[in-house]
Structure 1
Amino acid sequence: MLTFQSHDEVVAEAIRFIEQSLRQKTQSITCHTSAKRLFFQLFNLTLGSLEHEEMHVALLDGQNKLIDTVCVGRGTLDHCAVYTREIAKLVLMSNAKGIILAHNHPSGFEKPSPEDIAVTKRIQEALSLIDAYVCDHIIVTRSFATTYSMTENADF
């Protein structure tokens, strides 16, 4: 039986459990809703309570299994600088085939900004040059009730 000393320990254990589940998934996340739901849960736990924006990348292998998650940008209340070059470097170094981008909107507004869409397209274009792709871009809010998928809403 697991015992926890704090809320942070509970969250950390939940994140480890979800990441382990995603590493073992054999279904394609592009079409399997339970795998997508796990990514939504992972990023809600990781980003949902932050008071500043952060961008994370989930690196996926050729079978869409999770290799790793990495924070690629930390910003302010309403902005986070993200560098396409750094994301491409991570993809190459980890031998990833695809990525899922995820960032939070501390304001609570779950829709992507024009800048969010432009950054996603720019990353997608860069990754296509190295035979990799953006599977999705997820936006989470502090309410935990709303998680927005840019793929499901055809934003890129």
Structure 2
Amino acid sequence: MSKEPKPAGMAEFSFLPDLVPQPMEPSTPVGAEGHRLRMRQRLLKAGPDALADYEMLEMILFIALPRRDTKPLARALLARFRTFGGVLGAPPTELMGVDGIGEAGAAALKLVQAAALRMMRQDIAAQPVLSTWERLTDYLMAAMGHERVEQFRVLFLDGKNKLIADEVQGTGTINHAPAYPREVVRRCLELHASAVILAHNHPSGEPAPSREDVVLTTDIVRAAATMGIAVHDHIIIGRGKWLSFRAEKLF
């Protein structure tokens, strides 16, 4: 049977529009998807130690940025912030300063940091702090060791030396964080704390105490003693190391 000619000027169209190929959304290349699958399997079978730092960052980022090749981003982050911990501890604004990270990538990295710190803090809170000293210093190193400015925090303890709260009392400059004995004592009374552990970081990386650090600690110890509150220690966190005032007999 011969086809009837179309009337002149009539446009050609389909009566089955659902069968007409539609533009496809961009998707992750097969090679990249295979790479991600292999890393997931390696993580689940062999554990996190089987992954290099840049691979860990890759995996975190491709959850937040599923259509991006995250390997170059992971390497760029390590080049800028030097270590895995340095990346997680970097301020969000600096993370977003790395081309391609954006808000989603920065939020994913800070979420991983927050999850790790929460897990460590809950482990500390489960038993008397003084019996978990190594865990406490590990937690403080993770929480403060990568801060770019000084941060003064207080760990408030109950009568059994269990953690009630961990609070940042002041954030300042690269070599000073404001802290006031009366505010520490006031907060102790509000939380019904019987003891505290003081902590602050030195962004320079060296935990040696300054004269001001010693004077402030002495003032807090005296103010707390008037209300029957003990100061167990003051810990200075550096980069990869820490110093205990109690161990150094500085009060």
Per the TM superposition, whether the score is higher than 0.5 is yes
Q: Deviation of residue 123 (structure 1)?
A: 0.3
Greater share of strand residues, 1 or 2?
1
Listed as ranges, the matches of 1:22-33 within 5 Å are 22-26=124-128, 29=130, 32=131
Structure 1 match to 2:115: 13
CA distance in 2, matches of 1:40, 1:73: 19
**TM-score, normalising length: structure 1:** 0.88
Provide the rounded CA distance (Å) in 2 between the counterparts of 1:136 and 1:14.
24
In 1, distance between residues paired with 2:117 and 2:191? 20
Matches within 5 A, 1:2-151: 6-26=108-128, 29=130, 32=131, 35-141=132-238, 143=239, 145-151=240-246
- Partner residue of 2:250? 155
**2:33 corresponds to:** none
C-alpha distance after superposition, 1:26-79 (max 9, x if no partner): 4x60xx3xx111211221121111111010000001111000111111110111
Structure 1 residues not aligned, in runs of 5+: none
- How far, CA to CA, are the matches of 1:20 and 1:99 in structure 2? 17
Distance 1:137 1:89 in 2: 18
> 1: CA distance between counterparts of 2:121 and 2:194?
18
TM-aligned CA deviation for residue 21 of structure 1: 1.4
Look up the SS of the partner of 1:80 in the other structure: coil
CA RMSD of aligned residues (A): 1.7
> 3-state SS of the aligned residue for 1:77?
coil
Larger deviation, residues 17-26 vs 52-61 = 17-26
One-letter amino acid of the counterpart of residue 15, structure 1: L
Give the Cα–Cα distance (whole angstroms) in 2 for the partners of residues 78 and 126 of structure 1.
24
Larger CA deviation: 6-15 vs 116-125: 6-15
What secondary structure, in the 3-state scheme, does the structure 1 residue paired with 2:160 have?
A: coil
Distance 2:120 2:155 in 1: 12
Matched to 1:74, the amino acid is T
Q: Which range moved further: 63-72 or 41-50?
A: 41-50
- Paired residues, number: 148
Cα deviation, residue 10, structure 1? 2.1
Deviations 1:108-139 (A, max 9, x none): 11111111111111001000011101111111
Matched AA of 1:100: I
